[in-house]
Amino acid sequence: MLRNKGYEVVINEAASDRPAANEEILGGVSGADALLSTLTDKISPEIMDTGLPSLKIIANFAVGFDNIDAEAAKQKNILVSNTPGVLTNTVAEHTFALMLAIAHRISEGDRFSRAGLYKAWGPQLLLGTDVSGKTLGIVGLGRIGSRVAEHAVRGFGMKVLYTDVKPTPEFEKEFGAVFVEKLEDLLPQCDFVSLHVPLLDSTHHLMNETTLKLMKPTAYLINTSRGPIVDEKALAVALAWRRD
């Protein structure tokens, strides 16, 4: 499409779909006016300064843009764009796929069967838990969080609690959701907790040793936002502690 409009387009075949090094990102595009990046491409100030001095816009092929130093781009008057909204339904459905999979131990059962361990049905074998009627905590009631909550209420009859920077009365009225101002007050009440916040300084390791300890020992955590929202080391400790 761009070529049909008369633009010169250089495709960086070296980088492919894996995280690319600076020299790979810059391969053959040093004079570019625009850069189409993906979430795994780390666009640093060095790339903007030395590699792409003519750069005017970075179009990120993702909803999130934490792979781009946005402050450096702002200082250099480089526009940064993303693709909000295009994956709202997809991520919401994926969230529920994960929720159902862990509640009903689907992946665990698949591994169990493939390993040849299944011999016969047993009343306690790989016994999971129902999602219907449980309490779901939504952390971040944006486009995706609100769609997950909608599926939870209409599809599974779940009770929805949510926390965000401010309440959404219209949503509460339509879906019976309850606003909880503090995360610390929401977590102990939930059977499932689903994270839907952007990666910011204020949300980095939002789920840490302190907040993980506030969850029910039987609760499930689903993160379809950014990985660093959860402190992985603290999560590993919490899982080991609850397994003992």
**Residue 56 belongs to a domain with what CATH number?**
3.40.50.720
Residue 24 has pLDDT above 80, yes or no: no
Do residues 52 and 166 both lie within one domain? no
Give domain status of residue 108, yes or no.
Answer: yes
CA distance 190 to 99: 13
Among residues 44, 62, 84, the one where a domain terminates is 84
Do residues 112 and 192 both lie within one domain? yes
Among residues 46, 69, 84, the one where a domain terminates is 84
Which pLDDT band holds residue 16 (cuts at 50, 70, 90)? low
Residue 168 has pLDDT above 60, yes or no: yes
Among residues 84, 109, 124, the one where a domain terminates is 84
CA distance 199 to 39: 13
Do residues 60 and 116 both lie within one domain? no
Do residues 163 and 203 both lie within one domain? yes
pLDDT in tens, 100-143: 999 999 999 999 999 999 999 999 999 999 999 999 999 999 99
Q: Which residue has the higher pLDDT, 243 or 144?
A: 144
CA distance 41 to 83: 15
Question: Element (H or E) spanning 197, and its range?
Answer: none
Do residues 33 and 113 both lie within one domain? no
Do residues 57 and 124 both lie within one domain? no
DSSP strands (E only) in the chain: 34-38, 57-61, 79-81, 135-139, 159-163, 178-179, 192-195, 220-223
Residue 161 has pLDDT above 70, yes or no: yes
Q: Is 190 left (phi over 0), alpha (psi -120 to 50) or beta?
A: beta
pLDDT attached to residue 94: 98
pLDDT attached to residue 50: 75
Residue 203 has pLDDT above 70, yes or no: yes
Do residues 148 and 166 both lie within one domain? yes
Do residues 145 and 57 both lie within one domain? no
Mean pLDDT score of the chain:
91
pLDDT in tens, 29-65: 777 899 988 888 889 898 888 778 889 999 999 888 8
Tell me the H-state helices in 76-208: 88-103, 106-114, 143-156, 169-175, 183-186
Give the total number of structural domains in the chain: 2
Q: What percent of the chain has pLDDT over 70?
A: 92
pLDDT attached to residue 6: 83
pLDDT attached to residue 176: 96
Task: Please enumerate in sequence order all residues whose Cβ is within 8 A of that of 48, keeping only pairs 6 or more positions apart, or say none.
Answer: 55, 69, 72, 73, 76, 78
Do residues 32 and 112 both lie within one domain? no
CA distance 70 to 45: 9
* Residue 129 structural domain: 88-243
Do residues 134 and 149 both lie within one domain? yes
Rounded mean pLDDT, 182-204: 97
Q: Are 191 and 216 in contact (CB under 8 A)?
A: yes
pLDDT attached to residue 163: 98
Give domain status of residue 7, yes or no.
Answer: no
Rounded mean pLDDT, 90-99: 97
